Structure 1
Amino acid sequence: MDAPPDVADATVPSMLDDCALVDAGALGDLDAFETLVLRHGPALHRYARRMLRDAGDVEDVVQDTFVAAWRQLGSFRGESSVQTWFFAICSRKIVDAHRFKRAQPVDDGFLESLTPSARCEDPFLSASNAHFMSALEAALDDLPSRQRATWVLREIEAMSFVDIGAVLTLSPDCARGHHRRARATLSERLTRWQ
């Protein structure tokens, strides 16, 4: 007798589910592709927002990512996860956006949502969290692009170094090295909060 599926497991998309959706999309199933967009769009948007910072460029890059993916559905070989494939396309679109226009920093407040400062009733703690988030944003902005990308993909998107390497066309060890340098720089810049 099979045990009933775990509810938590049912909410997590599996690679098999994604591959089946890609196959259906390649045959013209728009609903299957829409499911992929809804499933992976928020993560791609977070990543693009961390890398570009201009809201218009972010929207364009994410849209261009899905347009390119739609056109290439038939060429997806399944050598990596669908998520990794989407992030690789998005990464190339981000590079293209940097070529055409230098990114302008915009306070998007994304990382603030990761802190409890909005619920905090202690004014000192709330102010301290806001200062930390501002310092983190500034430190991230100063990182070289690949270091920032590896940090965002690892720390925010929780991707493995193998997947990060596939996204950024780096070896896993090289991705790990960029992440290590990013963490060292951030640690040095943010010693006040350690």
Structure 2
Amino acid sequence: MDDAALLRSIAAGDREALAALYARHSPWLQVRLRRRCPDDDVVAEALQETFVAAWRGAGRWRGEGDVAAWLWGIGVRRLVDQLARRPRHSPLSDVPDPAVASAEEQVLLGVEHADVAAALNSLSPELHAVVQATVLDGLTTREAARLLHIPQGTVKTRMARARVLLREALS
């Protein structure tokens, strides 16, 4: 069965179709979510919520576009929701514990990511979310606004503010 047929079956209450959709899409979805959040528990929760939303919303899928893109949209929104519930945003770089990491790993991570990651992590959660959505996830202003549940003008304003702060931090 193709993805569209699976969604139609899911809309009719077919749990096996949901299992097939999950088996087909959860591996790549988990990898993409993991790239945006180093916390395995948050990623697992967002992944679970994605497929619960797919189960509940399968009947609303209009058949337009790719099912994988639809799932990704749900998944990244669920991840943002999970991160918004946390008291503090997660650091961008997944730096290993210095006591466990080898000296070579520490040097490579420092050279490769330290300045940019530190600058990004110094942003407020609101600015960080806009940068992540527009720059790292490649969303348009309209898509980022929809994803973050804020007006497009707010996305533009926050991105402008983030640019200023990042320039200051990196200069």
Query: Is TM > 0.5 for Structure 1 vs Structure 2?
Result: yes
Distance 1:61 1:180, change over 3 A: same
How big is the shift at 1:155?
1.8
Which residue is equivalent to 1:164? Answer: 144
User: In structure 2, what is the Cα distance between the partners aligned to 1:32 and 1:185?
Assistant: 42
- The gaps in structure 1 that reach 5 residues or longer are 1-16, 110-126
* Cα RMSD (Å): 3.5
Indicate which of 72, 79, 88 corresponds to 1:90: 79
User: In structure 1, what is the Cα distance between the partners aligned to 2:64 and 2:149?
Assistant: 14
Residues 1:108 and 2:97 are matched in the alignment: no
User: In structure 2, what is the Cα distance between the partners aligned to 1:56 and 1:18?
Assistant: 27
Indicate which of 124, 134, 137 corresponds to 1:144: 124
Which residue is equivalent to 1:72? Answer: 57
Distance 1:86 1:23, change over 3 A: farther
How big is the shift at 1:186?
1.2
Which residue is equivalent to 1:63? Answer: 48
TM-score by length of 1: 0.60
User: In structure 1, what is the Cα distance between the partners aligned to 2:75 and 2:42?
Assistant: 17
Residues 1:174 and 2:154 are matched in the alignment: yes
Distance 1:84 1:171, change over 3 A: farther
TM-score by length of 2: 0.66
User: In structure 1, what is the Cα distance between the partners aligned to 2:144 and 2:49?
Assistant: 20
Indicate which of 91, 108, 111 corresponds to 1:131: 111
Contact 1:61 1:90 in 2 (8 A): yes
How big is the shift at 1:107?
4.8
2:118 maps to a residue whose letter is: A
Distance 1:104 1:179, change over 3 A: closer
- The gaps in structure 2 that reach 5 residues or longer are 96-106
Which residue is equivalent to 1:189? Answer: 169
How big is the shift at 1:167?
0.7
Contact 1:25 1:32 in 2 (8 A): no
Distance 1:150 1:106, change over 3 A: closer
Contact 1:69 1:86 in 2 (8 A): no
Distance 1:58 1:173, change over 3 A: same
User: In structure 2, what is the Cα distance between the partners aligned to 1:174 and 1:25?
Assistant: 37
User: In structure 2, what is the Cα distance between the partners aligned to 1:107 and 1:129?
Assistant: 9
1:40 maps to a residue whose letter is: L
Distance 1:23 1:168, change over 3 A: farther
Distance 1:93 1:128, change over 3 A: closer
